[in-house]
Amino acid sequence: MNKITIAIDGFSSTGKSTLAKELAKKLEYVYVDTGAMYRAVTLHAMQNGLIENGDIDRESLLKELDGIDMKFVFNQELGFAEMFLNGENVEKDIRTLGVSKNVSQVAEIKEVRSRLVSLQKEMGKDKGIVMDGRDIGTVVFPEAELKIFMTASPEKRAVRRYKELLDRGEDVKYEDILENVQKRDYIDSHRETSPLKKAEGAVEFDNSDMGLVQQFERMYEHSLRVI
């Protein structure tokens, strides 16, 4: 079967990762969650005192950028890759509200983006990949055979995220999650370098009222049409 590149972009907590992961499994493709990479850089900065009360020490972060040891390690049992930062599994730590509050400011930095984009291009050079993020169809793989753009109302997305964090044992308030989702949407779609927007030729999914099974079937059908 012909191997293609599938680029999935969209707002936070639209269910991109869940669907992308399932699709990759079904097609026997590699799945890459690029949000995890921006989150890992943010966690590294937080752990090293380079972010205090939302202020980023950009100069020091840029000096350390190339040396950040960030790797996806495939977990056979779970069936997907987990993020390792400086040799440690940080899959849970990168998904806290604390990291979510700082990640969009880190992701605005042009040098951070160009470093991560070049790693992402390398990962996808042999195709057979499902990659999700904010700029995959516009910047990382503008030539992708299938591009998907996902949206849903901020309230629906905040409820999803809230439940996820509660399930993980985080003590969070719904209002804080909604505020974070809206703030990230704003920064992600208004930044100067590669703002979040629908790529040319992307298929739009508004999944506010669509169940996971239905969304997956639609996405799978779209991919079979181009493979």
The piece of 33-41, 43-51, 141-149, 209-217 that touches ligand C5P (CB under 6 A) is 33-41
DSSP per-residue string spanning 187-226? HHHH-SSS---PPTTPEEEE-TT--HHHHHHHHHHHHHHH
Strand 55-56 relative to strand 51-52, pairing: antiparallel
Q: Which of 22, 138, 180, 188 forms a contact with ligand C5P (CB under 6 A)?
A: 188
Q: Is residue 107 a contact residue for ligand C5P (CB under 6 A)?
A: yes
Distances (CA, A) of 162 to 13, 169, 174: 10, 11, 6
Q: Tell me which of 22, 31, 39, 177 binds ligand C5P, using CB under 6 A.
A: 39
Residues 71, 32 contacting (CB under 8 angstroms): no
Is 34 annotated in a binding site? The answer is no
CB contact burial 124-143 (16+ within 10 A = b; e otherwise): beeebbbbbbbbbbbbbbee
Using CB under 6 A as the binding rule, whether residue 12 contacts ligand C5P is answered as yes
What character string, x for contact with ligand C5P (CB under 6 A) and - otherwise, covers 143-182?
----------------------------------------
Compute the least distance from the CB of residue 80 to ligand C5P, in Å: 14
Dist CA 178 CA 105 (whole Å): 17
Rule CB under 6 A: choose which of 38, 141, 162, 205 binds ligand C5P: 38
Residue 11, marked binder: yes
Query: For residues 150 and 205, is the Cβ–Cβ distance under 8 A?
Result: yes
Quick check: 91 binds ligand C5P (CB under 6 A)?
no
Residue 38 CB, nearest distance to ligand C5P (Å)? 4
CB 26, min distance to ligand C5P, A: 21
Size of the site for ligand C5P (CB under 6 A): 13
Question: What CA–CA distance (Å, rounded) separates 4 from 146?
Answer: 8
* The only residue of 14, 90, 184, 207 in contact with ligand C5P, by rule CB under 6 A: 184
Confirm or reject binding of residue 133 to ligand C5P (CB under 6 A): yes
Token pair, residue 142, equals 């503008």
Please indicate if the annotation marks 12 as binding a ligand. Answer: yes
How far is the C-alpha of 51 from the C-alpha of 44, rounded, in Å?
Answer: 10
CB atoms within 10 A of CB 53: 5
User: Quick one: 21 or 39, whose CB is closer to ligand C5P?
Assistant: 39
Residues of the binding site for ATP? 10-18
- Applying CB under 6 A, the residues found at the interface with ligand C5P are 12, 34-35, 38-39, 103-104, 107, 133-135, 184, 188
